[in-house]
Structure 1
């Protein structure tokens, strides 16, 4: 019985820590994400946070589709001049940045306005590399709201002035599952800030002109 009580207390502490991290990140990003294109302040660069184009069962990944559409909307309305795509390219048969680039070009974005970061394996990597590799001091982050909030928290803790443009989100069972995972991702983000976690790779600087 004593051990059971100890486990219960530990579980309660962990739950409170997760909830606190979630609240902290939402609070830090308050009034810094935008749903309406007319209200978004202009930034030179918009950062797309990567996603795979298709799901494991072969369907179009709507998180990808909606981020692509949001980035194009920002560019088309002159809310950003350049687009930095940061995603996973850890395998020869999997290349998030190049896929986004190809689809943006098909929509009408000139190749000269698109920059690729192939080492955005995690949101932390994408944010820190945006500053250390691409020299960004400010940017508009493009993802769903829950993801934008976490990215803004990471950006501010790396001295980047960031806002987020919220791509359309998903509802239903799939959206709920993603949001539940987000609680753990936010807890990890807070821990990463505390321990000053750095990206897996850095490298030479690239100027976005």
Structure 2
């Protein structure tokens, strides 16, 4: 039993060390690409808003969602992008069937914030950050994009983009206090380790699709 306990402890320490190394590595590679205000960014054809649920399980507004919408609307209003791609997923039949629909919720919130509906494209195959990043190029044809999310999430998204040869920038949305959002940070630690593994194994987006030309094809 003592040998088993020693093995388990060693494995846990190794996992913690690898996770900490992945966090630091991803952060240091991408911080230079992230701005806190639109004015600090070079213009791009499109912004990519990474999905999250509009409401928490309690029914309260999700501050991560609110922050991303506010930042994306400010990015568009500043003239830094011409189009916004809202990338997320849908489950349990969507809103009409009592489920959730991240792209539709983001689109509606952006319209309410003054962004014209004709400038918003929905991506329903953004199941993971990797999918959202790669589909911005493979489906929407964009090599230069401004990604919108909270800073800790942007670091991982931009790491994935950079490693795939994409010149993406990031606009940091308002974050939430660490004491409130610690479960998200804990999940992010595991996601960064997985992202490093995805790069090492040349992981691709789960789904492709026909090309969508921003401005030429009608918004999805």
TM-score (normalised: structure 2): 0.91
Q: What is the Cα deviation at residue 208 of structure 1?
A: 1.3
Quote the residue 1:101 is aligned against: 107
Residues 1:3 and 2:4 aligned together: yes
Deviation sequence 1:1-46 (CA, Å, 0-9, x none)? 3333222222221111111111110011021111123212211110
Equivalent residue number for residue 125 of structure 2: 119
Matches within 5 A, 1:27-38: 27-38=28-39
Which of 140, 144, 153 pairs up with 1:138?
Answer: 144
TM (normalized to structure 1)? 0.95
**CA–CA separation in structure 2 for the residues paired with 1:66 and 1:76:** 15
Instruction: Say whether residues 1:62 and 2:63 are aligned partners.
Output: yes
> Which consecutive residues of structure 1, in runs of 5 or more, have no partner in the other structure?
none
* Root mean square deviation of aligned Cα: 1.3
Out of 205, 208, 212, which is 1:199 matched to?
205
Number of residue pairs matched by the alignment:
209
Separation in structure 2 between the aligned mates of residue 67 and residue 36 of structure 1, nearest angstrom: 13
Partner of 2:14: 13
Q: Distance in 2 between matches of 1:92 and 1:6?
A: 45
1:74 corresponds in structure 2 to: 75
Listed one character per residue, the Cα deviations across residues 148-171 of structure 1 (whole Å, up to 9, x for unaligned) are 000001111222111110000000
Equivalent position to 1:180, from 180, 183, 186: 186
C-alpha separation in 1, matches of 2:141 and 2:125 = 15
Structure 1 residue 172: deviation in Å? Answer: 4.4
